[in-house]
Amino acid sequence: MVQKADKIWFDGKLVPWDEAQVHVLTHTLHYGVGVFEGIRCYACTDGGSAVFRLQEHVERLFLSAKINEMTIPFTQDQISAAIIETLKVNRLSEGYIRPLTFIGAGVMGVYPGDNPIQTIIATWPWGAYLGAEALEKGIRVKTSSFTRHHVNVMMTKAKTCGNYVNSVLAKREALADGYNEALMLDAEGYVSEATGENIFIVRKGVIKTSPLGSILSGITRESVMILAEDLGYTVVEDRFTRDELYCADEAFFTGTAAEITPIREVDRRVIGQGSRGPVTAALQDAYFKVLRGENPKYGQWLARYSF
């Protein structure tokens, strides 16, 4: 369950959590045309807090809106400032941030007409998405029977609400079968991504990740690629198949919620030694040092705040 905070930012005003409501005829509720972001903030070792890659997340929110022909009635700077304001008023030093832009009530039918474009920002405490134990021991993954969106079926570079029906179906299937997460293939059968994470494999010291085709351009994905190259690893963006994944020395998911989560098993095949590998561990260590403000080289990735 989401832990209630004191306030939610709603169209420029901070309102009590339970009063952040919409009408049942809200257009996005019926047709799924809305856009959102998942952002994390972390408590830093110096006593302050920081939002990880705030500017990039807000920029992607606006690009997602553009793709869906939605005009957000605020600037990127205003939304960034509102996120920090909401964190401060809720006194949240570490947790999750959910900006959501949606089409409000008015005209019904597929065409939304001049319905208002509304935006909320909610924040709440949230630990490891796939479980704290998973960050060390890894998770079990099943290839889904559901195919990831084709690039001409849905706009895959937009973080669109309706796109995630595909993810919900795949996630339910995987959990019902006793797995932790679902692996999605693209329309041609190549490994795409998970229900809310990008995927990496490691083979003979080379790190490979799916190219920007059917997948969402993950901000954590990009961060990990930069960190890996700075640590001396070779990183390749290239298609790969399930059998190549089965034969990997290591595999892991990345995402704002999942952070860097090792994969220990896929479709009943043990990956590598069946636990977190050394490359994954090194990347986790580097990543969390950045998040805690312990590596000044990546200080520009952190939007600092304090109460």
Asked whether the beta carbons of 121 and 246 are under 8 A apart, the reply is no
Separation of alpha carbons 51 and 54, rounded Å: 6
Look at residue 182 and give its three-state secondary structure: strand
Separation of alpha carbons 276 and 92, rounded Å: 31
Separation of alpha carbons 180 and 172, rounded Å: 10
Q: Which of 170, 201, 169, 206 is nearest to 272 (CA)?
A: 201
Q: Is 4 assigned a catalytic role?
A: no
Separation of alpha carbons 47 and 304, rounded Å: 11
Both tokens of 119, joined, read 């935006």
Instruction: Tell the residue number behind the tokens 């034969």, with chain if given.
Output: 247
Burial classification of residue 159, based on how many CB atoms lie within 10 Å of its CB (0-12 exposed, 13-18 middle, 19 or more buried): buried
User: Which residues neighbour 204 within 8 Å (Cβ) at sequence distance 6 or greater?
Assistant: 249
**CA-based torsion, 266, 185, 101, 105: positive or negative:** negative
* 21 DSSP 8-state letter: -
Catalytic one among 4, 137, 157, 159? 159
From residue 143, give the alpha-carbon distance in Å to each of 4, 57, 257, 260, 262: 34, 28, 20, 19, 16
| Catalytic (active-site) positions | 159
